[in-house]
Amino acid sequence: MQPSEARARETREWLVKAAEDLAAAHVLIGSKHFSGALFFCQQVAEKSLKAFLTWHDRTFRRTHDLEELGKECQAIDGTLAALLEEADVLSYYAWKLRYPGAPYTPEREEAEAMFGIADRVPRDVQSRLPLEQTISEDHGDNQSSSPSEFKET
């Protein structure tokens, strides 16, 4: 396998994982598990940015810090700046609400707002990749929903 083929495969794998996490966030919002949904929203953004960096053959350290990853992405494509600034808020959800002693319990409105941000990140990233690197709807990236579409279980 040529390096470019390996890089393309890894880019797609990051994007598929991001799509799976978006689907998980969608389900968790519908079942009123907002802390878990917020964690997966952060993961969507993180994995999407790592896909972008992978495609551009940029190394990155193991981190959940979207600001750090975003700076690397913005160095490649400055037009991502506004989205990355908005998405940086998701870094907070990588750990803050995941463990005992969380500072608060999130509500539906917060989860839905963060889902909206998380949904835009992979779409914007994929719009900047060659078409053959984007994932199709059969891989789960069709989970975008407006807040009124979250099904309660």
Six-digit token string for 23: 């689907």
In the chain the domains, ranked by start, together with CATH numbers, are: 3-134 (1.20.120.330)
Query: Taking the model in full, what pTM does it have?
Result: 0.87
Query: What residues have CB less than 8 Å from 46, skipping those under 6 apart?
Result: 64, 66, 69, 90, 94
* Mean pLDDT, rounded, of the chain: 89
Residue 139 has pLDDT above 60, yes or no: no
Return the SS3 of 62. Answer: coil
- Cα–Cα–Cα angle for 124, 140, 51, rounded to 5 degrees: 45
Residue 107 has pLDDT above 70, yes or no: yes
